[in-house]
Structure 1
């Protein structure tokens, strides 16, 4: 006679299947200094404590600094933290291992969800357990669906209600039964009489035995504590917030029951599709910008707090617009790169490339397909955190033409409001879909941006930074003979045109500085001043003086206005961004 519940085929549990990278105390403390590289070293050492879970007293910070100084990991120069070459190796390798461990953990979680989400109660390995032939339930999806909807799940709710769901069509009524029980004032699942009255009869009459028999179901559904709490709290367990997005996406994906009969090879090949489909996400990447980074804070304030449609990072070439957009996206998504997508606009870019368009189909000729915006909107709907769409080179096409009607509904006040696409399909833009774009304000096409489009973007200006140039040169161990003239060249160039600090990222010696001039800066200057020979001649003279300085044994700062002195960039916090909502 067929049984009417899942039973308990397993007696053992997955004790611990998680992947954890646990740093020693020295790693944790040094990482705080490592991430504060270039920042001021002065009490109360907020720049260092910002990267620690618990605040250290000034005395403890100084003790750790002495230790790291003694072993050659760092030093303090002109009141700022400087990481040595050995320190960069030590800190960089630790961060690489941490990223790899986090990536491995994410991949295992994705695969576990992909495989367990396909698992059918009735399959070629369970034919002898007496399940009815029309049983089409996927048990782990049932448990996940209940936890997503209810917030948590008590073992009695699993025992008395969900274990009796033998067909997918019965899941909704089972969830409603639990919701109704929870709405009752006298409901207490830890009391057997109350559980029986509200949830129905027990499958296992012995209470202690029932508890033990539910544990394997939670253990496998949680893959040994990775996806679900390993231990219950007052009989209840919750999903791990870190992987809720994976589980929600799986539960939302239709999985029809397949009759494999006795074909075990076909059954396990089907389960393996979960690995091939879901474990292809790249390794999460930890952002390097701090929580108090002014550009990051400006994006958070304008887009998340002030509800602007998107943030537009403006700046000359080399000011780090694209780098910042990627770093901010990683920080907003906790390094989950599957929640980030980057596209680049160009003159031939169209609505059909960005929103929706027809693509070839082998069976039907052509079919209507979602493109980048609608695809990321769907990712956002399935995620419990921010999802970021980066648009690089925003002004290289007509943004109003590319976005079409979605331009209106990217506005903060119209998020989640339904609207119709030209195809007749209905769409929405979720509130957690963040738009970041980059643009050079000096591009000729900027003046042609539609005013309505312009109004929906908050503007954040990125300026060339002498501090960042100095950081690059220090990190590259650039000798002082080259470092001072390079800094002066950068500063003097700003008198004529904006030159981004990123141009100087790879300057290590006199040869690399000369290559920077001859292969990049010279052409940038000639293009900008092709109709101003006087300015061009002045800048070429600057380079000639710089080239002479780096070629001589004792190089001093370049003379400005014949004074023999150098205008130095003031020390202090990074430049605050100019942020303004569009008019």
Structure 2
């Protein structure tokens, strides 16, 4: 991804920052920050221009720009570091461009890091350059000024301004200045002049190096970063549960034949993906009938209860696996969140102000960066975070680099130096970084163990809710007295299992749980409503609209036809519906792609407690209404599931897929109970009704999971022309649908009446252009010729197609050519 400023001159880039930065500074918030153009200019474009100057050899110098983390800095800067002296704005001496946003002036300065200068040669107290810049401590100013005066005398700065009149907008920056030159918008030099001035400062920087570093008069700074494992470092073992479900191909095939004709061998091959002869299929069929997996009814193959259990085996095991893994994640995240880089057990020779919690650093960075991190981002940015207060700026650095380059494939090391910073490791980087990912990812349990094709590690989806909770109230640095104190804090309550561990239930106890006393229910007998039904139809046919009528009818024990209302009576019906929702008789939920068993049946949720985190069992929406219906056998209850085909049905329903069958409901002849993953017995009572809706344009009924199809009644909600009052609109919908049925040869992809109800011909252009035509493009996979052909239904009206050479077709009123 190329930046739009790539071909601009250094003069133009600096001019833009100096002239415009102050004008928008007060409007910038942390949410707007990354959309602002100055981020790329200060952090990427200007440093790249400076780094391209041949005399700034990348082996010796590195250029970095900053405009602050969170809210933008009042004084943005671009620094040139001699890596033999420092690579940080918090230590040593360096050349820096400083922008005064108020006076619109640019200062090229040679100065000291405010922190290091203020503290003398002692270790930093942890206050960064930016935080020091806000200080008003007079003693700090005096220390800085005295130090700078001594350096001027030692190295000689007669060619430069050293009059103390620098005004960057920050008193502490001004006090840390050894010498400077000033540019205004009127006298900002061209690129050659800017280069000449900068190289004069580089010569002075070299003199400083000779006098202070070679002369032994100043401390050189160790490149501080996290320790990383060598290439032979053993990673954590990969944590995964492997269930070996090995089913013969033809057994899997017969599990997919539910509802297919007993002797329809072509249909059996098509449904199962087999390519077997009729005689071979008969052999398999006879065998599985003998095993009790299938049976014959109405001359069709149907799976028995055992057959359905075999068909659902893999998905059931997947659901159980996630439950077990989540228990591990809970404890692992709870412990790892407290791990500290500086601790009494591991002697990493870190500065006293290092308060880094590596797990929190990496997890937060991943959560804020599309839930992934690249090994170069770890190597160049994250490993250099030595204070938790530095993390936001590190995340900003990575985000800016991603915005600039997309990913790092094919990006040279020198470009990465400027975009992300200098490498900690230069050889076998992925292998050197892997131990950190493996540690805070706990062997693949929290972070995926394998690197993706672009070099990223991704968070495990199952770990995200637990990480979100720990980040809401993360631990803080704990100053341990000794090794024992540290380990007691780090492992904490998880150290002594015997104090907290409950005895594992025995099989007999689980069996007793299954015999839990449930409220008795009488057999339902003949009723006018199916237990499980799905209203399906094309977009705009009123499926969700109709669920109110069906739900109210079931709860009030009336026929649906007695409840169905005219448009005028709709308000009263909805008032009744909403009242039943408020009283808990009707529950509404919507399935989506990330909807899971934990949302629907039962799961665990993190719960923050006094700086730590615990987890609690939480019932899902279906279990809540099922339990309520169970305790109230004389009333009917309804759960409405909108967009039921949008989720992975097998994973959402789990063992429930068997319990919702008519004869398996609690109170019916073959009533069943099941044990939920947390050990609780569960039933689905026979006074709970399920109503789903399905948009047939999203997925054909024939493609719906066979286990779901067999358990639900499907009720088609067709387009209803009689509900449209306007004659022209009624005719347009009729002709559209007649053409679609003929062309597409099914009724899944039609136009519903909801688009036209309570509308007139005056609304036709808006209806067609904004609702119907976009739908036609979906139906015909953006084939414009077919869309135009469908719109021939307008030829006898006062409307015509509007020419759109660069866009999608639309309609307009016919233009007179008289």
Tell me the TM-score normalised to structure 1 length: 0.48
Greater relative contact order (Cα 8 A, min sep 6): structure 1 or 2? 1
- Determine which structure has more spread, i.e. the larger CA radius of gyration: 2
Tell me the TM-score normalised to structure 2 length: 0.36
